[in-house]
Amino acid sequence: MHLANRAARLAVCSAVVLVAAAACAPEPEDKAAGKPATAASCPAGKLPTVASGKLTVGTDKPAYAPWFEDDNPANGKGFESAVAYAVAKQLGYPASQVTWQTVPFNSSFAPGAKKFDFDINQVSISDTRKKAVAFSSGYYDVRQAVVALKSSKAAKAKSVADLKDAKLGAQVGTTSLDFINDLVKPTQKPAVYQKNDFAKSALKNGQVDAIVVDLPTAFYITGAEVTDAEVVGQFENSGSAPEQFGLVLDKESELTSCVTGAVDALRKDGTLASLEKKWLSDAVDAPVLK
């Protein structure tokens, strides 16, 4: 779809090049994506989506709580499911016109064309990932947290230094793993798992002293899945800007500015805060590990 659109644009430019060559020069995609969204540039329900008249949203499977409920992204329950439908509505697509596609976490931000319009799966915005995909503005400010069995030595940690000798684990490709490698810098090589389910199993079986996940997931794990574990603490965000989850789009997507405009509108009118309160209320503060 994107190549066809680009080809069509170049064809138009060729047709009128003798009249207004400068005005018809193809605009770089990054600049186009960065333009503010307007009603004219984002016609409700009539965007150049993967499937005409439909909005295709990607996420991983299983779809974990509290981001989704009952492993069913389409039910509108859970923070990210609710955000996806709120964004869709803002773009002019009712729930009946939203379709879901299973996309493995690492595949969502890997290089290459995408078969979704946007993906929502706790993907943190980063400069490295921006080389391969586009992001909307952030829809959730996130902290990373440490979860350990109550009987583990890691459960007694009060600082980052206290985790230095612990065997830590995290899902591959996540900022959770980055925090282990770049901030904790443990003496033991961290265990890396394809999915959080595997990391949780390793924690439960005592194969690791602790795992690192985002804070809401940490509270869900200790409250519902590994009840003999506890949230040891959360890390401070590094840098001046908070870590944020963003909607992932194809690098060449024509929807980026429209999707960003929708997210910004939902933040401005209080919808995001309301959904966060409803679905992530259990993600209360945890001690900060410094």
Peptide bond preceding 104: is omega within 30 degrees of 0, i.e. cis? no
Q: How far apart are CA 121 and CA 80, in angstroms?
A: 7
Entry pTM = 0.81
> How, if at all, do strands 191-193 and 168-171 pair?
parallel
Whether the link from the prior residue into 66 is cis, omega within 30° of 0, is yes
In tens digits, what is the pLDDT along the chain, a chain of 290 residues?
443 444 444 343 343 333 333 333 333 334 344 456 666 799 999 999 999 999 999 999 999 999 999 999 999 999 999 999 999 999 999 999 999 999 999 999 999 999 999 999 999 999 999 999 999 999 999 999 999 999 999 999 999 999 999 999 999 999 999 999 999 999 999 999 999 999 999 999 999 999 999 999 999 999 989 999 999 999 987 666 889 999 999 999 999 999 999 999 999 999 999 999 999 987 667 899 99
Listed in sequence order, the residues at least 6 apart from 102 whose beta carbon sits closer than 8 Å to its beta carbon are: 58, 59, 60, 61
Which distant-in-sequence residues (6+ apart) come within 8 Å of 20 by Cβ?
A: none
Name the amino acid, one letter, at 189.
K
